[in-house]
Structure 1
Amino acid sequence: MFTGIVEYTAKVHQLSRDQNNLCLTFINPFLNKEIQINQSISHNGICLSIMNINQKTYSVLASEETLLCTNLNFLKLKDKVNLERSMMLHERLNGHIVQGHVDTIATIVNIENRNGSWLFFFRSKKKLDHVVVEKGSITINGISLTIVTYNQYIFNVSIIPYTYRKTNLHMMKIGDIVNVEFDIIGKYMNKHIQECKKKM
Structure 2
Amino acid sequence: MFTGIVEEIGTVEAVRKGASSAAMRIGAKEILSDIKVGDSIAVNGICLTVTSFDGKGFWVDVMPETLSRSSIGKAARGSAVNLERAMLCGGRFGGHIVSGHIDGTGTILEVQADDNAVWYTIAAEKGVMRYIVEKGSVAIDGISLTVAKVQEERFSVSVIPHTREKTILSRKKAGDIVNLENDVIGKYVEKLLQTPDTEKKPSNISKEFLLKNGF
TM-score under structure 1 length normalisation:
0.94
Which residue does the alignment assign to 1:74?
74
Moved more, 170-179 or 129-138: 129-138
Distance (Å, rounded) in 1 between the aligned partners of 2:31 and 2:87: 17
Partner in structure 2 of residue 27 of structure 1 = 27
Per-residue deviation, 1:71: 0.3
Distance 1:53 1:68, change over 3 A: same
Quote the Cα distance in structure 1 between the aligned partners of 2:101 and 2:191: 17
1:127–1:153 CA contact under 8 A, matched in 2: no
**Taking structure 1 as reference, are residues 68 and 197 closer, same or farther at Cα in structure 2, changes over 3 Å only?**
farther
What is the one-letter code of the residue matched to 1:7? E
- Contact persistence 1:127–1:152 (CA under 8 A): no
Moved over 6 A (4+): none
Q: Give unmatched runs, 5+ long, in structure 1.
A: none
1:9–1:80 CA contact under 8 A, matched in 2: yes
Match of 1:92 in 2: 92
Larger mean CA deviation between 52-61 and 5-14 belongs to: 52-61
- Gaps spanning 5+ residues in structure 2: where? 200-215
The 5 Å alignment of 1:35-114 reads: 35-114=35-114
Q: Give the direction of change, closer, same or farther, for the CA distance of 1:198–1:20 in structure 2 (3 Å limit).
A: farther
> CA, structure 1 residues 198+137, in 2 after alignment: closer, same or farther (shift >3 Å)?
farther
Query: What's 1:15 paired with?
Result: 15
How many residue pairs get matched? 200
C-alpha displacement of 1:133: 1.3
- Written as runs of structure 1 = structure 2, the 5 A alignment for 1:99-138 is 99-138=99-138
Higher radius of gyration, 1 or 2? 2
CA-atom RMSD, angstroms? 1.9
Aligned CA distance change for structure 1 residues 127 and 19 (closer, same or farther; 3 Å): closer
CA drift of 1:197 comes to 8.3
